[in-house]
């Protein structure tokens, strides 16, 4: 790890998952773009195809085009960055545009946006000519601290989230904290729910540190944001170092995602991803407590960090237990262990920092009544108290 100071203050890391490695940089300040141009020139690309969030500020997209064009010809493809547009039809459209622009095996796909754009551009890069190079330029804190630290690239099917995908590593991740200036505080708070997941599930020794830094208003200095990102790199590297496909110990990264993904899908993405995962963790913590895995203080520890972060702790009012259960039945974690009638596969903790691994994998088959109780505990019309 190298923490930098001065006008290009930030962070330099090398991400290593088994034999896979790539450069990861955090920058902000006037000289950040000069740093990017040097790194992109080293790729010797004949063309950049930038897959950009159509909702990004014009000045940010224009600046990216200008700086990339100074290195190699650059073609811009804009996409709608929402869950309803993250599908194979959209991927086919941007693939056609990339091919018509003249993309070759020497070209580089650049993802400019948040996690949805990163997934779409990542899957495009994986599929074009059976794999071209990928560069991530995330514009959200969630992408900077979470999604670009995973090799999973996927789009949604008509049945649920991330059913269609593969693994594809970037060659470079370049994070510019100046991109975050236009984000609402709610987006920052949502992103930090994934960091909280890492603390609860992987690095509980950082709990007090994070509790002391979290602010419900979501306003942080670049130095604190860099510290949060560095923590997430440490946590994800710890479980992915020998499991880059996230099928064994790294499954703990899916903590909170079973209920969370269902809620996110049912609201069409109106419930932000991080907030959905935070609520999903509370549901999972209640299930764990009912099964005798977590105690009351450990369940309360979940609530404390989310509340310090100013995150919601209840599902939106329009969601009910039945609709959430219906989506969970099609969750993409099914099949890691043989299915058992009347149960759902969940990632649960048996203590902070320790996933419950009844069969060697962090998959717990939870009976329907306990799942229902966990979901009810986070429903808006319920007043289930943690201490009861």
Same domain, 173 and 86: yes
Bridge partner list, 26: 11, 175
- What proportions of the chain, in percent to the nearest 5, are helix, strand and coil? 45, 20, 35
Same domain, 102 and 170: yes
In this prediction the pTM is 0.90
Residue 267: domain span: 238-376
Residue given tokens 């004949």 in the structure block: 46
Which tokens go with 76?
Answer: 């811009």
**212 assigned to some structural domain:** no
Does the annotation count 254 as an active-site position?
Answer: yes
Cα–Cα distance for residue pair 86/114, rounded to 1 Å = 12
pLDDT at residue number 10: 84
Query: What SS3 state is found at 176?
Result: strand
* H runs (alpha helix) in the chain: 32-41, 58-69, 88-100, 115-127, 141-145, 185-201, 207-213, 222-240, 257-266, 273-290, 296-308, 321-328, 368-376
pLDDT at residue number 9: 59
Question: Which is catalytic among the residues 246, 254, 299, 350?
Answer: 254
CATH number at residue 120: 3.40.50.1970
Cα–Cα distance for residue pair 1/231, rounded to 1 Å = 11
CATH number at residue 304: 1.20.1090.10
**328 assigned to some structural domain:** yes
**388 assigned to some structural domain:** no
Question: Which is catalytic among the residues 152, 186, 290, 376?
Answer: 152
> Which helix (H) or strand (E) element contains residue 27?
strand 20-27
Does the annotation count 350 as an active-site position?
Answer: no
Regions in the chain scoring below 50 on pLDDT: 1-8, 383-388
Distance of CA 236 to the CA centre of its chain: 11
**218 assigned to some structural domain:** no
pLDDT at residue number 6: 39
pLDDT at residue number 22: 96
pLDDT at residue number 84: 85
Structural domains of the chain, count: 2
pLDDT at residue number 382: 57
**Which of 159, 182, 205 is the endpoint of a domain?**
182
Same domain, 35 and 148: yes
Find the angle CA(64)-CA(65)-CA(66) to the nearest 5 degrees: 90
pLDDT at residue number 5: 38
pLDDT at residue number 4: 42
């Amino acid at each position: 790890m190298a923490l930098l100071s001065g006008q290009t203050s930030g962070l330099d890391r090398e991400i290593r998952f088994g034999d896979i490695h790539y450069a990861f940089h955090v920058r902000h300040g006037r000289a950040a773009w000069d740093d990017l141009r040097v790194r992109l020139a080293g790729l010797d690309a004949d063309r950049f195809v930038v897959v950009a969030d159509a909702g990004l500020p014009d000045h940010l997209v224009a600046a990216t085009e200008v700086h990339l064009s100074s290195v190699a010809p650059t073609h811009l493809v804009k996409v709608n960055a929402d869950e309803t547009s993250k599908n194979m039809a959209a991927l086919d459209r941007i693939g056609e545009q990339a091919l018509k622009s003249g993309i070759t095996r020497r070209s580089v796909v650049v993802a400019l946006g948040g996690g949805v754009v990163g997934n779409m551009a990542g899957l495009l890069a994986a599929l074009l000519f059976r794999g071209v190079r990928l560069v991530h330029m995330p514009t959200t804190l969630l992408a900077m601290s979470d999604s670009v630290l995973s090799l999973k690239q996927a789009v949604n099917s008509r049945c649920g989230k991330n059913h269609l995908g593969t693994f594809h590593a970037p060659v470079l991740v370049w994070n510019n904290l100046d991109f975050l200036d236009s984000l609402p505080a709610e987006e920052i708070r949502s992103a930090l729910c994934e960091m909280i997941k890492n603390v609860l599930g992987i690095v509980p020794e950082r709990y007090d540190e994070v509790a002391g830094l979290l602010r419900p208003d979501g306003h942080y200095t670049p130095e604190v944001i860099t510290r949060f990102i560095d923590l997430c790199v440490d946590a994800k590297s710890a479980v992915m170092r020998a499991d880059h496909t996230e099928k064994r110990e790294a499954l703990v990264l899916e903590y909170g995602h079973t209920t969370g993904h269902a809620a996110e899908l049912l609201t069409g993405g109106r419930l932000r991803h991080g907030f959905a995962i935070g609520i999903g963790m509370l549901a999972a913590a209640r299930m764990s407590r009912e099964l005798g895995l977590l105690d009351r203080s450990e369940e309360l520890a979940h609530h404390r960090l989310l509340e310090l972060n100013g995150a919601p702790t209840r599902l939106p009012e329009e969601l009910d237990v039945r609709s959430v259960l219906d989506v969970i039945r099609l969750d993409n974690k099914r099949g890691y262990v043989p299915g058992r009638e009347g149960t759902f596969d969940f990632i649960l903790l048996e203590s902070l920092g320790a996933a419950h691994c009844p069969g060697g994998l962090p998959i717990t088959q939870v009976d329907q009544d306990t799942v229902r109780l966990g979901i009810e505990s986070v429903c808006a019309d319920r007043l289930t108290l943690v201490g009861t």
